[in-house]
Amino acid sequence: MRIVGKAALWFSLRTRRGGTENSQGRARMIKLPKLILASASPRRAEILRTVGWPFEILVVDVDETRRGDEEAVTYVERVAEKKAQAAAAQFPGTAMIVAADTVVVIDAEILGKPRDDEDARGMLRKLSGQWHQVLTGVAFIDGGSAEVRVAYEKTEVKFAVMSQDEIDWYVSSGEPRDKAGAYAIQGLGARFIEGIRGDYFNVVGLPVRLLYELVTKSGAVARP
């Protein structure tokens, strides 16, 4: 069954009034499941480490070619699901798989990872001084039920005007080479970001809140 919709660690839910504590005064605990992260992205792995989410990495190789005039949302959701399905084929049984795919969109043009340094310069010239969108498709497969949930997150980002010297310097740093849109908001590229509307982690590559919602809706989150 495929359900399209809009994430284990232990953490406490405490409220000061009327709240979530049980009769013994102990905080209720919510256990999140261990995930198989179908991604070679060190940024996505670091996000899961940052939020305390247990996982292991499985690198999958799938064709990420865009289909003709495929819309950006359709594209990132399709590729994310394709990665998740490839991982699930290697983990039969009850494994819980997550995969994601991120692109940058400006003026209806999809910017993936640059082919080379000159392509990166061209992308940065397009982004300079402009707002753009970052779209990430996320796919979650619950191996126990064979249920697939796919959704996407959108964040808007504003670039400062970049001089040619700044573009050349940034490209020479090597950071843009494996990044959608040729920049990393969490790295050297942060100095060129004027504004952001939406989920920061989405721009880095994995919208944590959306992932949590997908996993929770599947019933995979253990509650007391």
CA-to-CA distance for 69 and 39, rounded, in angstroms? Answer: 25
pTM exceeds cut of 0.75: yes
CATH fold for domain 2-217:
Maf protein (3.90.950)
pLDDT of 222 reads 58
Give the separation between CA 154 and CA 58, rounded to whole angstroms.
25
Q: What integer pLDDT is reported at residue 27 of this predicted model?
A: 61
Token readout for 193 is 């970001």
Hey, what's the torsion of the CAs at 57, 99, 62, 73, to 10 degrees? Answer: -160
pLDDT in tens, 26-84: 666 678 889 999 999 999 999 999 999 999 999 999 999 999 889 999 999 999 999 99
The whole-angstrom separation of Cα 76 and Cα 6 is: 14
pLDDT digits (tens, 9 = 90+) for 83-97: 999 999 998 778 899
Query: What does the alpha-carbon distance between residue 224 and residue 29 come to, in Å, rounded to a whole number?
Result: 7
Active site includes 101? Answer: yes
Are 31 and 8 in contact by the 8 Å Cβ rule? The answer is: yes
| H-run or E-run covering 57 | strand 55-57
Quick one: which of 166, 205, 210 has its CA closest to 185?
205
Active-site pick, 101, 119, 168, 178: 101
Domain limits, the chain: 2-217
Q: Which helix (H) or strand (E) holds 138?
A: strand 131-142
